[in-house]
């Protein structure tokens, strides 16, 4: 998130989806449907009004980007002795675009000795998960959240999708629209969430219209 000025760890497009279910102490993760009163939000909605959720738990879907090695805790509780931090792309970001890939917008913390840190530490970049976050503090206008639980998502934006989509985007930018169309079509074969599918279909259709007609 920009207010935390995160340092993005250079990650390759060779991303893989890991199916990790998991979380902090077992009783905290019984079935999700029974978690009454835990709002389900996009990361963008949480950031728009973090104070409204201060002291509460919320559910947010993200794509894991990578663990953060160094950060400033400022006056918050999130010092490096007790916590580990992860950057993530919001579920609405498009990490096959190079500028987006370099700029994950979400950051959250997990206790070093907890199950959430164990799960996130084993998740590959690009893994799509639902996090249960407790908003402990609002500082510099941003939510500072503890990861209480990590649940894998059925619909994914995994390794094959990101590789093919990134290639399609590169070919499209270079004006090689026939190759771009083929790459986007490969990316679309995955069980994608609706918004990612719509974005990739739009890119595929743009290139398909501009590709030279086949004889």
More confident residue, 212 or 99: 99
Question: What is the mean predicted confidence (pLDDT) over 73-79?
Answer: 97
Reported CATH class of domain 15-26+34-152: mainly beta
Token reading at 142: 């941003």
pLDDT of residue 35: 58
- Name the percent of the chain lying above pLDDT 70: 82
Nearest 5°: the CA angle 73, 75, 81 is 45
More confident residue, 19 or 87: 87
CA distances from 209 to 88, 178, 179, 212 (A): 33, 9, 13, 8
CA–CA gap between residue 160 and residue 162 (Å, rounded):
6
Residue 126 has, within 13 A of its CA and on its CB side, a CA count of: 22
Q: Tell whether the model's pLDDT for residue 158 goes beyond 90.
A: no
For the chain, give every domain's residue range.
15-26+34-152, 159-210
């Amino acid at each position: 998130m920009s207010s935390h000025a995160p340092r993005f760890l250079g990650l390759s497009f060779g991303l893989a989806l890991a199916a990790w279910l998991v979380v902090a102490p077992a009783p905290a993760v019984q079935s999700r449907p029974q978690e009454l009163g835990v709002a389900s939000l996009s990361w963008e909605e949480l950031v728009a009004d973090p104070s409204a959720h201060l002291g509460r738990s919320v559910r947010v879907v993200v794509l894991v980007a990578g663990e953060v090695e160094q950060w400033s805790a400022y006056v918050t509780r999130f010092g490096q002795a007790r916590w580990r931090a992860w950057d993530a792309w919001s579920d609405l970001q498009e990490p096959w675009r190079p500028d987006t890939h370099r700029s994950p917008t979400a950051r959250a913390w997990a206790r070093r000795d907890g199950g959430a840190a164990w799960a996130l530490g084993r998740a590959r970049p690009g893994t799509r998960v639902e996090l249960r976050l407790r908003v402990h503090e609002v500082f510099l206008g941003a939510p500072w959240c503890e990861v209480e639980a990590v649940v894998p998502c059925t619909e994914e934006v995994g390794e094959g999708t990101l590789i093919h989509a990134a290639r399609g985007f590169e070919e499209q930018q270079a004006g090689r629209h026939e190759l771009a169309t083929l790459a986007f079509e490969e990316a679309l074969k995955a069980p994608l969430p609706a918004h990612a599918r719509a974005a990739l279909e739009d890119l595929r259709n743009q290139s398909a219209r501009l590709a030279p007609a086949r004889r």
